[in-house]
Structure 1
Amino acid sequence: MHAMQYEITLPADYDMGIVRRRVAARGHLLDDHPGLGLKAYLVRERGLDGSPVNEYAPFYLWRTAEGMNAFLWGPGFRGLCADFGRPAVRHWLGAGLRRGPGAGPPAAATRRAERLPEGADPAVAVERALAGLPDHPDLHTAAVAVDPARWEVLTIALWCGAAPDTAPGTRYRVHHLSRPELDRLPAGRHW
């Protein structure tokens, strides 16, 4: 599993209706993309859920590198670049996945990134992150991934309904979920 995200920060006075309409019109285009576990169309709006910014920040869990490459070098990502400029694309290696009991499509997400201090044992940090994945009735899906270039551990959780107040991290609203191969991503540890 590979995790991927790009964040497009928009001006404070940007009409976020443009992003909502874009997702409504184009979100379904990845609903059957080969190699894609899930794409959560994440949005932050200034003044909502404590967000200081307007941001479009799609998050992906890829089942295959080929699917990820087909997206990045294909027409969908080129169209995004034509509309917003080419964003920096972050990439993490998948370390684990938990499926939750939450029913229905997710409405919210939380994302937490933790840089490991020099000398910290990465295996211990990953095990701690996996053990800390939420066990909540509204959890849809949660994952842990690692960027070994920056030694950053990422935890993301998708929630049916609002994210619990106790869920740490940056809060997003989910405007669409494409999940063509989510059921094919292995649950639990990925080693």
Structure 2
Amino acid sequence: MHAMQYELTLPADYDTGIIRARVSRVGHKLDDWPGLGLKTYLLRERGVHGSPVNLYAPFYLWNTVEGMNAFLWGGAFQGLSDDFGRPAVRQWTGLSYEQGVAADSPARFALRQRRPVPDGVVHAEAAQEAVDEARRLAREEGAVLAAAAVDTSRWETVHFSLWEHGDPDAAKDGGELFQVLHVSAPGRSALPGGRQW
């Protein structure tokens, strides 16, 4: 499993209805994309749910590198780059994926938590802590799914979870809460569950 995300920070007075309309118009195009586990079309709006910014930030879980590369290099990503400029694309190696207790519910909110892996820690222990946290999040009321991944170029873990409601407790611990505008999940059932090593 590979995780990927890019962010488009929008002006404070930006009409986020433009993003909503865009997702309504093109979101379905990845509903059957080969190699894609899931894509969540995510939005933060300034002043909503504590967000200080307007931010469009789709998050992906990929089953195959080929599917991810076909998206980035095969034309689908070109439209976004043409319209907004080419954003930096963050990529993480998967550590864990868990179906949540509300796995069959529609995802309305997403939570992203990024944490540094401190110097001097035992790598296996830090990775296991990330796996354990994904499992804990997946067991919380309203959790649709939870995943953990790591960026070893920055030594940073990311926890990504989807929720049927908008106030998971983890948001109080420095997480960023997003509205989910659409989910394309052609390969969600094929995402490998549990620990990824």
Which range, TM-score by smaller chain? over 0.9
Alpha-carbon offset, residue 88 of structure 1: 0.2
Alpha-carbon offset, residue 115 of structure 1: 1.1
Alignment match of 1:190 (pick from 186, 193, 196): 196
Q: Does the 8 Å CA contact 1:109/1:171 hold for their aligned counterparts?
A: yes
Alpha-carbon offset, residue 188 of structure 1: 0.3
Percentage identity across paired residues of the two chains: 54
RMSD: 1.0
**1:143 is aligned to 2:147:** yes
Give the AA of the match of 2:185.
R
CA distance in 2, matches of 1:143, 1:165: 16
Structure with greater helix share of residues: 2
**1:127 equivalent in structure 2:** 128
Unaligned runs of 5+ in 2: none
Alpha-carbon offset, residue 104 of structure 1: 2.3
**1:176 is aligned to 2:182:** yes
1:4-153 residue pairs with structure 2 within 5 A? 4-102=4-102, 103-133=104-134, 134=137, 135-153=139-157
CA distance in 1, matches of 2:123, 2:85: 34
Alpha-carbon offset, residue 9 of structure 1: 0.2
Give the AA of the match of 2:113.
R
CA distance in 2, matches of 1:163, 1:98: 19
Q: Does the 8 Å CA contact 1:31/1:179 hold for their aligned counterparts?
A: yes
Mean Cα displacement is larger for which, 115-124 or 55-64? Answer: 115-124
Alpha-carbon offset, residue 124 of structure 1: 1.1
CA distance in 2, matches of 1:92, 1:118: 19
Give the AA of the match of 1:184.
A
TM-score by length of structure 2 reads 0.94
Alpha-carbon offset, residue 163 of structure 1: 3.4
CA distance in 2, matches of 1:29, 1:2: 20
Tell me which stretches of 4 or more aligned residues in structure 1 moved more than 6 Å: none
Mean Cα displacement is larger for which, 163-172 or 29-38? Answer: 163-172
Alpha-carbon offset, residue 120 of structure 1: 1.9
